[in-house]
Amino acid sequence: MKKIIPWLMLAITIAVAVIRAQPPQTQPLPENLLVVRSDSLKAFVGARALFPLRGGIKGETWSIEDVLATGSRSPVGEHAPRIQIVQTDLAPKTNSPALVLRWQEGERFGTACLTQTTGLLTSPSTRFTPGLIAATDIAATMEGKPFGAGRPATLVSGNLAELKLRQATWERKAELLRFLVVAPWLFSLALLFSAWRGKSLGNPNIFGGIALVLWADLLLGSPLLERLPFSYSVTEAARFYGIGNDAAGLFIGCALAAGFEAPTLLAVALAIGAPSLGANNGCFLAALVGIAAQKVGKLPVKKRLLASLAALLGIGLLFLGLARWDVSRGAGAQTHLGQAISGERTGSLMLIGRKLAMNGHLLVSSPWSLLLLTSGILLARRRAGGDLITGGAALALNDSGVLAAATLLFPLAAQKTQSPPAQSGAGG
């Protein structure tokens, strides 16, 4: 029976990913919409959505008005196309629906209201979360086609009460995020104390339980991750769905520390990377690297080079297969990976540059670098080469790779603090 369970988990993961691959039924918005800004929405009735007001990247003077007008979160050339948002405090003098926007400095969300309609607005950018669109979607909605990084909003059923409940959840999560910066300091101190005492911080059962909870949560649509103060944050506008780098790193690290068998580890990787589940491409690759490193490290030294080359080929084929699957789902459901491959997403070099800049900034400023360094040193002392390679992949393959690598290496280091150093040449 125990041999069947890992394969059953893999089969369930694939089945759920396929079932949830197609987007929900939505209604397109009218063409040639008038986009209006108003300081009050009391005079307007219609379908609504929230959009995060966090725009641009740290250190740039890039206002929310620029984001809305260009469909980009990073500065574009002065001759780049922009849409015009009309400023008014009165209802638009038109018999056609209008998209009315309200935002105010100091608030976390702006509000969009499509007049003469009912329901909630959503978009592919937020994986069709009812009542949520990206600020970059405003320009695309006005144009009726992808514009910058945005995609046109669509209409789904729902009401204002549901939207207020979701907003309360997102606001609470944003408040809890303030306390998350303490975690890497506490974890680092715990690791050092554990290493000093020669006792492990956890065992395979604890790490396995954490991994199984995260696996089940992703398959159920992330109801837990939506409320926890890590993974994606709607208010930050960096990720609206799936699994963020910090939670994905923890997921991988716990699965490896638990000693899961290969089919279970593949289920973990697929839950992280499938576009309809975790949609985290960098951590999907890091998970595959972790599986390969675990298996290759157990082979005799003479066989490792050939096995490593075969593993790299296998990882490439699996990633290509995932990418082609994303492309096949159509432009309305594709993640950023599918858009980049199909040519729907422009500015790929700018996006890569932003990601590299963010990683560099986090390496020198984030407290998670302390946990990354602490875990890395402890694992290096145990000569856990495979674990360090996996952490390096998580660091290199993600924009906030510092978080992914730190949370990935933490459970591995926590488990091995009581282990004697491995013999020279051991794969870890």
Among residues 238, 322, 318, the alpha carbon closest in space to that of 279 is found at 322
β-pairing verdict for 86-87 and 34-37: parallel
Per-residue pLDDT band at 349 (split at 50, 70, 90): low
Q: Are 142 and 151 in contact (CB under 8 A)?
A: no
How many whole angstroms separate alpha carbon 220 and alpha carbon 148?
32
Number of H helices, E strands in the chain: 15, 8
Q: Name 112's Cβ contacts closer than 8 Å, sequence gap at least 6.
A: 48, 49, 50, 51, 99, 100, 101, 121, 133, 138, 153
| pLDDT at site 336 | 65
Among residues 210, 71, 42, the alpha carbon closest in space to that of 133 is found at 71
Q: What average pLDDT score do residues 381-392 get?
A: 91
Conformation bin of residue 138: beta by default, left when phi > 0, alpha when psi is -120 to 50: alpha
Name 34's bridge partners.
98
Residues across the chain: 428
How many whole angstroms separate alpha carbon 348 and alpha carbon 280?
17
| pLDDT at site 186 | 92
Q: What count of Cα atoms within 13 Å lies in the side-chain half-sphere of residue 195?
A: 21
Q: What average pLDDT score do residues 101-123 get?
A: 90
Highest averaged pLDDT of the listed ranges 80-84, 249-253, 321-325, 359-363: 249-253
What tokens were used for 204? 């395979």
SS3 332: coil
The percent of residues in the chain predicted with pLDDT above 70, rounded, is 84
pTM score of the predicted model: 0.86
Q: What average pLDDT score do residues 343-360 get?
A: 57
SS3 19: helix
What tokens were used for 259? 């000693």
In the block, residue with structure tokens 């690791």: 191
How many whole angstroms separate alpha carbon 254 and alpha carbon 214?
10
How many whole angstroms separate alpha carbon 183 and alpha carbon 125?
30
| pLDDT at site 92 | 55
- Put the strands of the sheet holding 86-87 in their side by side order: 27-28, 154-156, 120-122, 46-52, 109-115, 98-102, 34-37, 86-87
Name 49's bridge partners.
112
Long-range contacts of 216-221 (CB under 8 A, 24+ apart): 218/242, 218/243, 218/271, 218/272, 218/277, 218/278, 219/12, 219/13, 219/16, 219/271, 219/277, 221/20
User: Is residue 48 within a helix (H) or strand (E), and if so which, with residue range?
Assistant: strand 46-52
Using one digit for the tens of pLDDT, what is the confidence trace for 154-171?
Answer: 999 999 999 999 999 999
Name 426's bridge partners.
none
β-pairing verdict for 109-115 and 120-122: unpaired
Using one digit for the tens of pLDDT, what is the confidence trace for 270-279?
Answer: 999 998 899 8
In the block, residue with structure tokens 């459970």: 411
Among the residue ranges 137-141, 184-188, 416-420, the one predicted with the least confidence is 416-420
pLDDT beyond 50 at 425: no
Q: Are 148 and 70 in contact (CB under 8 A)?
A: yes
Query: What values do phi and psi take at 91, rounded to 5?
Result: -65, 135
User: Rounded to a whole number, what is the largest CA-CA distance in the chain?
Assistant: 78
Q: What average pLDDT score do residues 11-40 get?
A: 87
Query: What values do phi and psi take at 49, rounded to 5?
Result: -160, 155
What tokens were used for 323? 């990418």
Among the residue ranges 32-36, 75-79, 172-176, 197-201, the one predicted with the least confidence is 197-201
